[in-house]
Amino acid sequence: NFRCRSAFKLLEIDDRFGLLQPGHSVVDCGAAPGAWSQVAVQRVNAAGNDPESPRGTVVGIDLLHVPPLDGAHFLCSHDVTDPATHAKLLELLPNNQTHVILSDMAPNASGLRHMDHERLITMCLSLIDLAEKILQPGGSLLCKYWDGVRVHELQQRLSSVFSSVRTLKPNASRKDSSERYFLARMYRKPVKWR
């Protein structure tokens, strides 16, 4: 029983690409009400339901309250784009790093398509800064966006630090919505020049 139908989008993507493996750490950005975290807990074995497999970690973040879930740790009333949140995340993650960053984040839609697009792209770009702090080399990022003029810029920024970037429109996503996902895999930490 999932808390929301969005679970089926993540199940579909994970069935196809095998992002979430037992023992993995997962950071779920924009986690409320918690359906993606439910999927992640099952797939990475974060509640330890399968004693034969390694136990993973799931940390969810949201501005809103997320009801408790066995196997997940939630940072409620936390903003994913706030560096103070990044510091707390580091403390919660084994070895201070994660295998996967998921983001189904969305701003409250204003109804102005261009403005909503801009705001969500800005949030997605902030995930690239988050990745630099917590994503392990080889790791993956799955993020939702709304289609529009700045998608190309987001794709280019992702391609500069991930070896593989693809666009997904899950069957479980409404056909008439501009919602898409980028799946970025094989993270390479950017080289810092002094």
List, by residue number, the catalytic residues. Answer: 144
Q: Could you tell me which residues come within 8 angstroms of residue 61 by beta carbon, excluding any fewer than 6 positions away? A: 27, 28, 29, 30, 31, 74, 75, 78, 80, 85, 89
Q: Smaller CB distance to ligand SAM: residue 30 or 194?
A: 30
Question: Residue 23, exposed/middle/buried by CB under 10 A (0-12, 13-18, 19+)?
Answer: middle
Helix (H) or strand (E) holding 192: none
Question: Which of 79, 132, 147, 179 lies at the binding interface for ligand SAM (CB under 6 A)?
Answer: 79
Note whether 116 binds ligand SAM by CB under 6 A: no
Please give the order of strands across the beta sheet that includes 98-103: 72-75, 57-61, 25-29, 98-103, 135-146, 179-187, 162-168
Note whether 81 binds ligand SAM by CB under 6 A: yes
Produce one character per residue of 158-175: b if its CB has 16 or more CB atoms within 10 Å, e if not.
beebbeebeebebeebee
Note whether 88 binds ligand SAM by CB under 6 A: no
Query: Which residue's CB comes closest to ligand SAM?
Result: 30
Q: Give residue 146's Cα distance to chain centre.
A: 15
CB of 145 to ligand SAM, least distance (A): 12
Q: How far is CA 104 from CA 91, 116, 190, in A?
A: 23, 14, 24
Note whether 104 binds ligand SAM by CB under 6 A: yes
Q: Smaller CB distance to ligand SAM: residue 56 or 62?
A: 62
The Cβ-side half-sphere exposure at 169, using a 13 Å CA radius, reads 8
- Region of 11-19, 61-69, 167-175, 183-191 interacting with ligand SAM (CB under 6 A): 61-69
Question: Which of 22, 76, 88, 107 lies at the binding interface for ligand SAM (CB under 6 A)?
Answer: 107
Note whether 106 binds ligand SAM by CB under 6 A: yes
Q: Which of residues 8-47 bind ligand SAM (CB under 6 A)?
A: 30-36
Note whether 105 binds ligand SAM by CB under 6 A: yes
Note whether 141 binds ligand SAM by CB under 6 A: no
Residues that bind ligand SAM (CB under 6 A): 3-4, 6-7, 30-36, 61-64, 79-81, 104-107
